């Protein structure tokens, strides 16, 4: 099974993904992998450094799209597909929906072109379930200040950008209700985790993936 977590920065998706991985490992004893995008392989992690480096402000929107896609293509070919072929569970922090939301809706690149590039990079690999942890854009700044961390290149894009990204995510989720499960990221962390776990367990019990 292939599970992905999505959301704007500071949504809590990474925390929720980690909690789910712990629960799945304790529940079944199955092999469960936890990976991130961009990243997950040596080459993909090097591309991640380029993409998030705050000094790379001259990176064009199209170059950004291709670098994210190149990282994903390497991850799919070298890690995700082999793991799924072995019957293992893969939980990925971001996948191609991030590219559609950030580079398509956020940066304003042609959505059809973004989707075609996503399809090539993912080599036909679609998540069985995508968890979207949704928070208002105002909450991003609140959580950034609380963490005290410096924003990376992507996180420095500004409020209007994040409004477009959030609207993009919610649009994608409405268009593909069979694949998406949307959760309010403003709720208690443990309550969210419990609801996500229930949604994943229901999907695990299904003999075949639902049509998107």
- 63, 71 Cβ separation under 8 angstroms: no
Half-sphere exposure of 83 (CA within 13 A, CB side): 22
Q: DSSP readout, the chain? A: -EEEEE-STTSSHHHHHHHHHHHHHHHH---EEEEESS-SSHHHHHHHHHHH-TT-TT--HHHHHHHHHHHHHHHIIIIIHHHHHTT-EEEEE--HHHHIIIIIIIT---HHHHHHHHHHHHTT---SEEEEEE--HHHHHHHHHHHTPPP-TGGGS-HHHHHHHHHHHHHHHHH-TTTEEEEETTS-HHHHHHHHHHHHHHHHH-SSPPP-
Q: Note the CATH number of domain 2-205.
A: 3.40.50.300
pLDDT at residue number 149: 77
At 155-201, the pLDDT tens digits run 777 899 999 999 999 999 999 999 999 999 999 999 999 999 999 99
Q: Give residue limits of the domains in the chain.
A: 2-205
Q: What is the mean pLDDT of residues 68-86?
A: 98
pLDDT at residue number 34: 98
At 120-130, the pLDDT tens digits run 999 999 999 99
pLDDT at residue number 30: 85
β-pair partners for 6: 132
């Amino acid at each position: 099974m292939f599970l992905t977590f999505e959301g704007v920065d500071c949504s809590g998706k990474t925390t929720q993904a980690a909690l789910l991985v712990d629960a799945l490992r304790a529940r079944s004893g199955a092999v469960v992998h936890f990976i991130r995008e961009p990243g997950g392989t040596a080459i993909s992690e090097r591309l991640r450094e380029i993409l998030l480096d705050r000094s790379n402000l001259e990176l064009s929107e199209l170059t950004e799209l291709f670098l994210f896609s190149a990282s994903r293509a390497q991850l799919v070919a070298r890690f995700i597909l082999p793991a799924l072929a072995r019957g293992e569970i893969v939980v990925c922090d971001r996948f191609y929906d991030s590219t559609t939301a950030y580079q398509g809706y956020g940066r304003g690149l042609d959505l059809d072109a973004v989707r075609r590039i996503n399809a090539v990079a993912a080599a036909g690999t679609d998540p069985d379930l995508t968890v979207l942890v949704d928070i208002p854009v105002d909450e991003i700044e609140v959580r950034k200040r609380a963490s005290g961390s410096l924003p990376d290149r992507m996180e420095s894009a500004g409020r209007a950008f994040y409004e477009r990204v959030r609207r993009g995510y919610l649009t994608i989720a409405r268009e593909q209700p069979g694949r998406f499960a949307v959760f309010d990221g403003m709720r208690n962390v443990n309550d969210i985790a419990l609801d996500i776990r229930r949604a994943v367990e229901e999907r695990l019990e299904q003999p075949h993936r639902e049509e998107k």
